[in-house]
A and B are shown apart, each in its own frame.
Chain A
C-alpha cells in the first residue's frame, strides 16, 4: 500500500505523522498550499481532487487508486504512433527531396 500511496501522492513529507481520520467523524482535511492538487479515480471512473498529502493518502487507502488513461483516445500509445508517422513523413520527404 505504501508503494501505491507514493505512486499517486508522491513521497512522504519529512516528519510526517499519520492521522487516523476514521476516529474523528467530523474531520476536515486542510489544504496544503505547497502540495499540487492531484486527481484520483475510483474503479467506476469517478474523480476526486485531493489537496494535501494526508487527504491523498486517505483516499488512495480507500480504493481511489485507478488510472483512467488507457480508456482515453488520446493516450500515450496512440499519440506515440502519431508522432512516429509524422517522423516517418518528415524523413521520407527530406530523403526523397535529395533523390529527386
Chain B
C-alpha cells in the first residue's frame, strides 16, 4: 500500500495542481455543450473551457477513436489547458488544447524534480548550493538562451508573444531557464548517488520539452559537466579538443540558413544550418555527452544490480502499458506527449498485426524494439546467470515486454535476442564452444534463406545502394554520388569492395533505399567529408540537394552514416577504432560477458537504426561503454 510519506505527498500535490490547471473553468457561468457536427459554439468560445470540463460533458471524446486531442503549443498562458478550437476533417474531430512552451518547461521541471527527489540519498544537500553551482547555473542558462536565439525561425512560431530579438524578452526566457536549471540540478545533485539505478525510466520520461528544440536532460548534463569541471579542473582539458573541432565546423558554414522541420527528432537536431546554431549545438552535444559520461563514471560504485535490472523490467512493461492506455484515452495521449516529453504522441493504431510495426509510446518501432530486446536480454541473462530472482509478477511483466518486441516487428532485435538465448542455453546444456554454436546458428539462417529462395546474385545486391541513389537523384548529383559513380583506378576497386559489401548488407536488412537516399543527398566538401558538419546537424543534408523522396520524413537509418555526417571520416574512424579497442581488450580480459553482449547487441542495432537521435538510447550506449571501459581498466 502507498505510504503517505513526504515524497508521495508532494506527488499528490502535483497531481492536484495538474487537475486544477486542466479543470479550473468548472465554476464560471459558461458551460460546454454536447459536441455535434455544428462546431460554431466552440469556435466562438475559444479558451473558455478547460479540457477536463469539456470532456466530462462529452465523455465519448475520451475514448472513441475518431476524437483526437491535439496539443496546441502556441497559445497564451491564459489559454493553457483550455479548448482553443475544434475541427472536423471527414469523420475525425480534432480538439485543440492550449499549451505553452515556457509553462511546459516549468511543469516538466517540477515533475522531473519530484520524481528525482522521491529516492532517498546519502548526499549532503547543504554542500550543493556553492559558488560552482551558481557559475554552472549562469553558464548553462547562457548556452541555452543562445541555442534558442540562433533558431529564431523555429522559436518565432512556438514562443508566441515574445520577440527573440528583444533583450527584455530574452531576459524573460532566461528567467524561466534559470528557474528550471536551478531546480532540476539542485535535486539531481542532491540525489545523484542513487539515480543511476533508475536510468531505464528515461525511456518513459523522454524529456523533449514540448515547444522547445532541446531535451530537458540536456540541461541537466550540460550543467553537470560544467559543475564537474569547476570541481575538478582536469576536465577542462576536454574543451581544447571541443573548441578546435567547433572552430573547423563554424568556419566551414556557408550562411545559407538551411531550415529543417525536426519532426520526430525534435530535441536532437538543429533546425537551421548557421554558425551560431552549429556552435551552440556542438557545445550542447559535447557537454551533454561528457556530462553523461562523468555522471556514470562517478556513480558506477553506486550501481545496485538487482535494482537496475528491476528498473529495466519495470520500465519495459510500463512503456507497453502506457502505450496501450494512451492510445485509447485521448486526454492522456496529449498529456503524456507534453509532460513526459515524447518526441511524437503515442500512435493510436494498436492491434495484434505484427506487420504494423507498432511503436506505441515510442517515436519509432525500431527504438522501442531495441529497448524491449535489451530488457529481455538484461533480465534473461541475469536470471540465467543467477544474478536476479523473479517472482510471478515479473514473469507477467516479461510477457508484456516480449509482446511489445514482437509487435514492434524489429527483426534485428528479435533475431539477436533469439541468438543470444540460444547460445546461452546451449552453452549451459552442452560443452560446445560459443563460436561453434554461433557458426551453427549462422548455417541454420543461411539454409533457411536458401530454402526460401532469398539468395540473390552478388552483382545485384552489391549495387543496390548506388542504383537507389541514382534513381533518387533529380537534376543535381551530390558530390558523394558523383565520386562513387565516376572514380576510376585503384580507388575505384576499393570503393567497389566497400560500397558493394555495404550494399549487400543493406539489401538483406532492407536498407538499400534509405542508404541510397542518403548518398543521393550527401554533398560534402572535402573538409566536410573529413571532419563533418558538427553534431545534431542535418539541415544541410536535407536542403542542399533535392531528391525524389517519399511523402514522409525519412532519416538515414544508420548511426554510422550519422556519425559520418556529424564528424566526418576522421571522426567516424576514431570512434570505430575506440570501440574496436574497447571490445578487443574486454574479450582478451574475459571480463563480464553479460555487459559485453548487451553493448554489442546495442551496437549492431544502431548500425541500421536512427535510435541514436533519442537521449535514452545515447545514455544507454554511454552507460555500457563506460561500464566496459572501467572493467577493462580494473583488469
Contacts and interface: CB of A to CB of B under 8 A. Distances in A.
B9 interface: no
Interface of A: 6-7, 10-11, 31, 33, 36-39, 47, 49, 51, 67-70, 72-77, 79-80, 83-84, 86-87, 90-91, 94-95, 97-98
B126 interface: yes
A36 B72 contact: yes
Contacts of B183: 87, 90
A5 to B, nearest CB: 11
A37 B85 contact: yes
B84 interface: yes
B230 interface: no
A33 B126 contact: no
Interface stretch (B87-95, B367-375, B382-390, B575-583): B87-95
A76 B77 contact: yes
Interface stretch (B156-164, B247-255, B327-335, B500-508): B156-164
Contacts of A94: 125-126, 129, 186
Contact of B89 (A31, A67, A68): A31
Contacts of A73: 78
Tell which of A33, A37, A74, A98 has the most Cβ of chain B within 10 Å: A37
B624 interface: no
Given A6-B156, A10-B157, A69-B161, A39 B46 contact: yes
B109 to A, nearest CB: 10
B259 interface: yes
Interface residues of B, number: 43
Contact of B182 (A47, A72, A87): A87
B87 A51 contact: yes
A37 B96 contact: yes
B175 A84 contact: yes
A91 B179 CA distance: 11
Given A10-B157, A72-B78, A83-B175, A91 B96 contact: no
Contact of B179 (A7, A77, A87): A87
Interface string B49-78: 000000000000000000000101111111
B76 A72 contact: yes
14 contacts: A7-B156, A7-B157, A33-B92, A47-B46, A49-B87, A72-B78, A75-B76, A75-B161, A79-B103, A83-B106, A84-B179, A87-B179, A90-B182, A95-B129
B172 A77 contact: yes
A80 B161 CA distance: 14
A89 B129 CA distance: 13
A97 B72 contact: no
Contacts of B125: 94
B153 interface: yes
A76 B172 contact: yes
A67 to B, nearest CB: 5
Contact of B77 (A31, A36, A72): A72
A33 B94 contact: yes
B138 interface: no
Contacts, number: 98
B74 A98 contact: no
A45 to B, nearest CB: 12
Given A36-B74, A72-B77, 7 more contacts: A6-B156, A6-B157, A49-B43, A49-B87, A67-B161, A76-B161, A76-B169
A97 to B, nearest CB: 7
A68 to B, nearest CB: 7
Interface string B152-190: 010011001110000001001001101100110010000
A37 B176 contact: no
Given A76-B162, A94-B125, A97-B126, A36 B73 contact: yes
A72 B80 CA distance: 13
Contacts of A11: 153, 157, 259, 261
Nearest to B171: A80
Given A36-B74, A37-B84, A79-B77, A49 B161 contact: no
Contacts of B79: 39
A69 B85 contact: no
B102 interface: yes
Given A51-B87, A76-B172, A83-B175, A38 B182 contact: no
A36 B70 contact: yes
A92 to B, nearest CB: 10
Contacts of A37: 72, 84-85, 87, 94, 96
A9 to B, nearest CB: 8
Contact of B160 (A6, A69, A87): A69
Contacts of B178: 87
A77 B169 CA distance: 9
A79 B162 CA distance: 14
Contacts of A97: 126
B46 A80 contact: no
By Cβ-Cβ distance, the 3 closest A-B pairs, closest first, are A69-B161, A49-B85, A80-B175
Contacts of B89: 31, 33
A90 B84 CA distance: 35
A76 B89 CA distance: 34
A97 B87 CA distance: 54
Nearest to B96: A37
Given A31-B87, A76-B161, A83 B76 contact: no
B176 A83 contact: yes
Interface in B2-58: 43, 46-47
A60 B522 CA distance: 38
A38 B94 CA distance: 13
Contacts of B153: 6, 11
A82 to B, nearest CB: 10
A94 B161 CA distance: 35
A20 B171 CA distance: 41
A52 B46 CA distance: 17
Contacts of A7: 156-157
B472 to A, nearest CB: 17
B41 to A, nearest CB: 13
A39 B156 contact: no
A99 to B, nearest CB: 10
A75 to B, nearest CB: 6
B172 A80 contact: yes
Interface string B175-208: 1101100110010000000000000000000000
A87 B186 CA distance: 11
Contacts of B72: 36-38
A15 B175 CA distance: 40
A7 B186 CA distance: 36
A48 B83 CA distance: 13
